[in-house]
Amino acid sequence: MSFSKTVVINCAGVGSRLGLGITKALIELEGKPLIAWQLQMLEKVEDVRVVVGYQAEQVIEQVLKIRKNVTFVFNHNYLTTGTAASLSLGSRHAKGMIISLDGDLLIHPDDFQSFLDSNEEGIGYCEPTTEDPVLVNIEHSGLKESVTKFSRDNGNYEWSGLVQVDATKLKSGTRHVYEVLEKFLPLNAVPIRCQEIDTPSDYDAAIMWVRNNLVTRKVHA
């Protein structure tokens, strides 16, 4: 197992649709900020980069309470750019595979570990759970599944926001990550258990998701 790859957590955005006045990386879920649940999965990953913008000082302070060996990258244009810009900044000078993890995404640790263990590019997909999903079209060839298209209108599954891809493919981007990935399709499709947080109803669902998938898992571990 190799952990030489880079994990980029993109949490520069304002998260205005949630309406809580704080960046989503800092919202509390069962007594811990969201980013703490994410960092808990990354204890054995050496190269972790956190892209910050809105409330950068608070995010940095929280992250440093959990681990010191983190690279912080600033997206100073967070008000006018999207996640793709943060990911492009965070992946600079990285070699090999990048795992991109949105700052509003909870992932089952076992499924995230599968990405860490894999040396293949892949896109994480899930059952639709959010109010405004980016959907994916998936084609099957034997035992292999591939994402062939992103769409706002048509698709049986939702793109989770989790992707593992070669760093050279992430040199430029300003808006959405899926727009950067489109020209490289098809890519491996990987089913994952996750919960994204965009709206107040997503937040309520995330609290239950953490209780059922992370807190309960820890108790039984």
CATH of the domain at 119: 3.90.550.10
Number of domain units in the chain: 1
Residue numbers of the domain that contains 192: 6-214
Q: Is residue 1 part of a domain?
A: no
Q: Residue 76: inside a domain, yes or no?
A: yes
Q: CA of 49: how far to CAs of 6, 86, 172, 199, in Å?
A: 7, 11, 17, 26
187 in any annotated domain? yes
- For residue 95, being part of any structural domain is answered with yes
Confidence of residue 215 (pLDDT cuts 50, 70, 90): confident
74-127 pLDDT, tens digit each: 999 999 999 999 999 999 999 899 999 999 999 999 999 999 999 999 999 999
Domain membership of residue 219 (yes or no) is no
pTM of the model: 0.93
Q: What are the beta bridge partners of residue 7?
A: 48, 99
Residue-wise pLDDT tens digits, 147-178: 999 999 999 899 999 999 999 999 878 899 99
Q: Indicate whether 220 belongs to any domain.
A: no
Does residue 221 sit within a domain?
no
**Cα torsion angle, 161, 43, 97, 174, sign:** positive
